[in-house]
Structure formats: structure tokens, C-alpha cells
Chain A
């Protein structure tokens, strides 16, 4: 069936117009700006070559944000996936309360990161302090007042928010496993742990690929929760890359440098997520 060019552009055009103007053109303009001394105010923009890119690596704030973001991503990806998978195992055990539990576990995921960050700011600074004084547990005092508690505060917040999301993905995968497989293993005398390890784990691998991708990119790009929970403080010690880019641009008006950081950020995310999907896909089992 042949359709005219007019029909093609009539249907694809409106979406493509918005997409180009909002994503493609700014991306290209941004790459260009990363090689200039653009500061957002002057209309005169000079080409400065690789200066901005070289400056990034001398920028201690950025390097420190990069290291913090990487550590945070590792900790949160591991904890969210373990929790999400455990919750999925729990709610697929056909308990009477399974549905109610699923509803509860998923709920935090629908609320915006900004609001969740504020809620947990209260819990960590006030709730933990009260609990600490009541029980005499000193480690509950002074949360978010140093880098370590800020770090774990963000990991806890993200685990609470995202594990319900991963639970839903893992549940779908677990329910796709043929019942006969599990029953056969049971008859052969495999206990619950052996069944999980040898049947459920290998067969939920595709869901694992997706979950790893989602948690990796979400954790690495985190901004809202970072802003509302710790604000990057104390003394920028919990600042993540996205916030560092924002501050470089809008607090210090170094648009060219900020844009160079954003390009590096984009490349790093691209390389990490594409290689992750490639590696985890390779080890999936066919059924």
C-alpha cells in the first residue's frame, strides 16, 4: 500500500517538530556551547576549544560529585534490587494479604521525589532523633548532618521509593514461570531455597536486565530527592552530578562549563547503561 509523502509528514510531523525543537536541537546546540565561553548573559560567544572539558577535571566539586554519585548508584542499585525481588517473592506466596501488601509497597513510587525527600528529611532529622533519645541509641542522632548519614539517608529513601516498582516487574516475571517447573522441582525434593536459586533466579533474568537498567539510570541521574533531602549539604558533600551541573549553570553562570559537564554526564550514562544491557542480556537463559 502506497501512501503519499503528504500523509507521512502530516502524521509524523507534529510529533517530530516538538521532539526536534525540544530534544534534538538543544542537544546539538548544547554540544556546540560546551566548546564556548557562553555565560548565558553576554550575546558574544567565543569558541574556546577543549578548555571547558579540561576545566571539569580540575573542578574538585565535580570530581567529588562524580565519586559520590558512583558510590550512591552502586549502593542503591544493590539495595533496591534485593528489596524489590524479596518483596516480589513475598507477595507471590498467595497470602490473604498479598494484594494489600502489593498496594502498599508500590504506593511511594507514585509520589514525586521532591515531596518524598522532604518527608524523609523530617523523619531523619526529627523522627530518628526522638527515637534515639527514647532508646539511647546514639547512632540515630544527627542524621543528614554529615556525608555518611546523608549518603545512607538517600539510599534508604530510594529503596523505599523504588523497591515497590521493581517488585511489580519481578512479580510479572515470577508469574510467567510455568507452575509445572516449580512443582517438578518440588517433587524431586528441592527445598524453597533451591527452587528459588535454580529455577526462579535464572528465569527472571530478563526482568533483572530491565530492573538493573531502570535503577542504574534513575540513581545516576537523581536530582529531586537529592535537592529536597540534603540539598547537597553539608558543605556540598552529598551533591550529586545533576545538582553540580545545575549549580554550575545557575549559581555560577558558567554555562559553557556546565554544558561540557552535561555532555560528559550523557556519555557516561550512555556507556554504562548500554554495556549493562549488553552484558546482562548475554547471560539470559532461553526457555
Chain B
């Protein structure tokens, strides 16, 4: 490629990059404005960078407790998804029987089921079991998360030689010991993928928690944002500060785990 082309490509790249960033720019600059300033001009820089809007939004969102609800639900669900999906996937892959194949096929086929098809009976069944609460929500995430997670683990287990399992058995390990001492540590790369893909989904999920834990005190970030936004549509300066707060944890996560995130997304989609 000659130099001239490279310069043109770089300019195109920079312009597209700026275009992609512009929505964030608009949120940030307007979140610093007063109501009056924002009304006068939505594209210019604010007169002063005062954090008043953020402080106000933080208080009204009850951000700290909402953040911890999101964190507990996400981390809790993912720990259980990892434990149960990896166990099931290993056993399903190593057992050659019709039943085993049928169960695995069931998990895969279920990926096509849209949430709306199970939503109404689910709420009813869970309501009868008294599970419309945070532990119940985590249980539901384990159920919904199992399809993709088992699929990914299953593919990875296929690449681990059965000789390893056999050696462990000869050395006197039972299935439980073989799995946790020998197999699970080898699964680490795919465990990271499973963890990241489920984190992105569960952290941002709105519809399911809105049906299950939609009460003050148990709301997650998306739920709280939705209610906050409903109350403050005429007050964009506060609403945008709230959106800014909601985005910050994701940006921090992205900043630290970018390489893993992009690799996981590729692995999760291409397989």
C-alpha cells in the first residue's frame, strides 16, 4: 500500500472513530450543564465542570445500593453458571448414550427460543414457588445461561484427551475428584469466555429483572435507570448524569479486560 493511501485511510479511520465516540461526548458535556444551559445549547461545552448533577443523580438513583444489587446478582449467577454448566458439559461429552445426546441437543435447540415465549408462564411458575426475588433471579439465570455455556464447555471438553480421565480413575479418583482436580483447571480459558459473555448479558439485562425484582431496594442498574429516566425526562441534565453513572462501571470493566472481552466475543460467536 502506498503512502498516500495510508494517509487517506488514517483520516477516514479518525473521522469514523470520532463519529462513534460522539454520542458519549454529547452525554458527558451535557451532564455537566445546568438545566438552562442545556436548553440554550446542546452541542457546546459547558460553562463550568461542576459535579452537582452527578451528585444529585447518584442520590436519587441510590446508586451505591443499586450497583451492589447488580454486582451480587451478576457475580452470584456466574459462579453457579460456571459450576453447573461445566459439570454437566463434561459429563454429557464423556457419556456416549442416547439420553446424553438428547439432553445436549435440548440445550442447543433451546437457544432459538425467544424469551417472550416462556416469559408469562415463567413468572407464574416462579411466583408459585415464591422465587420472585434475588435468589430466584439467580436461579433463572442459571437456567437461561446453561444453553450457551454448556455448548461452549462441551466443545472445549471434546479437545481434552479421555486418557486424562482414565489415568485419574486408575489413580483412584472418583468422578467428582477427576472433574475438580484434573478437568476443571484445564477448562480455564473457556471458563473466562463463559464468564465474560454471561457478565455482559446479565449486567445489562432489563426485561427479566423487571418482571422478577422490580421493587425499590432490589433494583439493578438498568431497572433503576429506567425508573429514574421516567421521572426526569423533562430534566435532561439529571437524566444524562444518571446515564453517565450507569455507563462508568462498564467502561472500567472494558478498560481492564478488553483483550479477554474481544477474544470471548469472537469465541462465543464463531463456535
Contact = CB atoms under 8 A, between A and B. Distances in A.
B144 to A, nearest CB: 6
A90 interface: yes
A62 to B, nearest CB: 13
Contacts of B1: 93
A274 B251 CA distance: 35
Contacts of B114: 221, 242, 262, 265-266, 269
Interface string A229-262: 0000000000001100110010000010011001
A127 interface: yes
Contacts of A91: 13
Contact of A27 (B16, B113, B206): B113
B269 A19 contact: no
* Most chain B C-beta atoms within 10 Å of own C-beta, residue among A10, A115, A245: A115
B87 A90 contact: no
Contacts, number: 253
Interface residues of A, number: 90
Interface stretch (B21-29, B57-65, B186-194): B21-29
Contacts of B270: 169, 172, 207, 210
Interface in B129-181: 139-140, 142-144, 146-147, 150, 162, 165-166, 169, 174-176, 179
B103 A16 contact: yes
B103 A104 contact: no
Given A19-B143, A172-B266, 19 more contacts: A1-B165, A7-B176, A18-B84, A23-B110, A29-B124, A90-B13, A95-B10, A100-B17, A105-B17, A106-B262, A107-B20, A114-B225, A119-B26, A122-B26, A130-B41, A169-B269, A258-B120, A262-B117, A266-B116
Interface of B: 1, 6, 9-10, 12-14, 16-17, 20-21, 23, 26-27, 30, 38, 41-43, 84-85, 87-88, 90-92, 94-95, 100, 103, 106-107, 110, 112-122, 124-125, 139-140, 142-144, 146-147, 150, 162, 165-166, 169, 174-176, 179, 200, 203-207, 222, 225-226, 229, 236, 239-240, 243, 246-247, 250-251, 253-254, 258, 261-262, 265-266, 269-270
A164 B17 CA distance: 11
Interface string A85-116: 00100110101111011111111111111110
B139 A18 contact: yes
Contact of A259 (B16, B120, B169, B176): B120
Contacts of A223: 207
Nearest to B81: A15
Given A1-B166, A131-B43, A113 B265 contact: no
A30 B125 CA distance: 11
A118 B16 contact: no
B258 to A, nearest CB: 6
B229 to A, nearest CB: 6
Contacts of B23: 108, 119-120, 123, 160
Contacts of B42: 126-127, 129-130
Interface string A4-20: 00011011101110111
Interface of A: 1, 3, 7-8, 10-12, 14-16, 18-27, 29-30, 33, 40, 87, 90-91, 93, 95-98, 100-115, 118-120, 122-123, 126-127, 129-131, 134, 160, 164-165, 168-169, 172, 207, 210, 214, 217, 221, 223-224, 227-228, 241-242, 245-246, 249, 255, 258-259, 262-263, 265-266, 269-270, 273-274
B247 A111 contact: yes
A102 to B, nearest CB: 7
